[in-house]
Amino acid sequence: MLALSDLRHAWKLSPILSTWTPATGTIHRTLLLKTSNGNYALRAYRYTSDEHWRILCEHALTTYVKTHGLPALTPLPLANGESILEHGGCFYALFPFAPGYQIARGDLTLHEGMLMGRFLGQLHQILSDYPHDRVPHRSFSIDLTTTLTTMEVIETAIRSQSHKSDEDRQALSRLAERRAYLATAPSINMEDLSSLEQQVIHGDYQETNLFFEDGQVSAVIDWDQSYVAPRAWEVVRTLHYVYKLEGNACNAFLDAYRCIFPLTSTELEVAASAYGWMRAHDLWHYKAIYLEGNQRVRAFLQPGPFLPFAQRWAALRDFLQER
């Protein structure tokens, strides 16, 4: 991490009174700063020099959103007018502290769900005209053989541990259940996703990247995962990731979103089908923990047996149709 003296010099900051690290975040490193003239957030990117362009894309996108009236935080300029500091082979950017307060996932009310849905609708409207070639693109292709091979590598890594916790044993059990599901579930054609209109999305729309104040969303942060996809994809991801497909919360979010930006049930179904199939193949948290040694990701390991997304989505769909 950048030395505080170098940080102060680069951005001409007033004396730093204290620093602390946020509890969330698994990709890049963030250091929060309190100075005599205000608070800031220093982002230390884990990108290599070949990935410098990703930071430029992120900063350009946040500037675009802010200039179109939504509260995205843009990086503070250095003395030379640029927004990225390269120091010791690492890249850094300094952001103003987000206004407002954050709400833990378990404390989100239906009212905040409506605020989040409404804000995402506004965000998608603004991003609908953003050029696709100015953000990274993500592959939605899936290969079952590759998934099964990766599962075997992960299982071998878990079994080779001299001491296995209950969490490790549960991971083995869930991987076995996932393999059984993939062996019997009908394959989903991911090409169907391309039939939906594509646009730039935030990519990680969730409560840890939002701030609230005065009955509205006051800031949206962390744009490094933006990519091109159907907006229904991001809606489905948020319903799953933030609300665990709970009926009342999802209904409040969807109603508020659709009041801003109409979204058909057909679009949702196509996106949910593809999303669920990709989730069944997604092993990123297991790879991060057991192959890359990133123990912070353990927080994402789910307790209990493996339950396919498709089954849980079907229950939500039935609930919404009864409303």
Name the CATH topology of 4-58+69-96. Answer: Phosphorylase Kinase; domain 1 (3.30.200)
Helix, strand, coil abundance in the chain, percent, nearest 5: 50, 15, 35
CB 301 within 8 A of CB 173: no
Structure confidence at residue 199 as a pLDDT band (50, 70, 90): very high
Tell me: the pLDDT tens digits for 159-194?
Answer: 999 999 999 999 999 999 999 999 999 999 999 999
pLDDT band at 295 (very low <50, low <70, confident <90, very high): confident
Give the number of C-alpha atoms closer than 13 A to the C-alpha of residue 272, restricted to the C-beta side: 22
Confidence bin at 300 (pLDDT 50/70/90): confident
- Each domain of the chain, given as residue ranges in start order, spans 4-58+69-96, 105-140+186-321
CA–CA gap between residue 76 and residue 292 (Å, rounded): 33
For residue 40, report the phi and psi dihedrals to the nearest 5 degrees: -140, 165
Contact by Cβ (8 Å): 121, 259: yes
Distances (CA, A) of 242 to 45, 161, 239, 250: 25, 32, 6, 9
The per-residue pLDDT for 144 is 94
- Whether 322 has a pLDDT exceeding 90, the answer reads no
What pLDDT does 298 receive?
85
Please compute, for residue 298, the number of CA atoms within 13 A of its CA located in the half-sphere on the CB side.
Answer: 10
Exposure string (b/e) for 49-63, b if CB count within 10 Å is 16 or more? Answer: eeeeebbebbbbbbe
The CATH-assigned architecture of domain 105-140+186-321 is Alpha-Beta Complex (3.90)
Radius of gyration from C-alpha coordinates of the chain:
21
pTM of the model: 0.93
- What single-letter DSSP state applies at residue 79? T
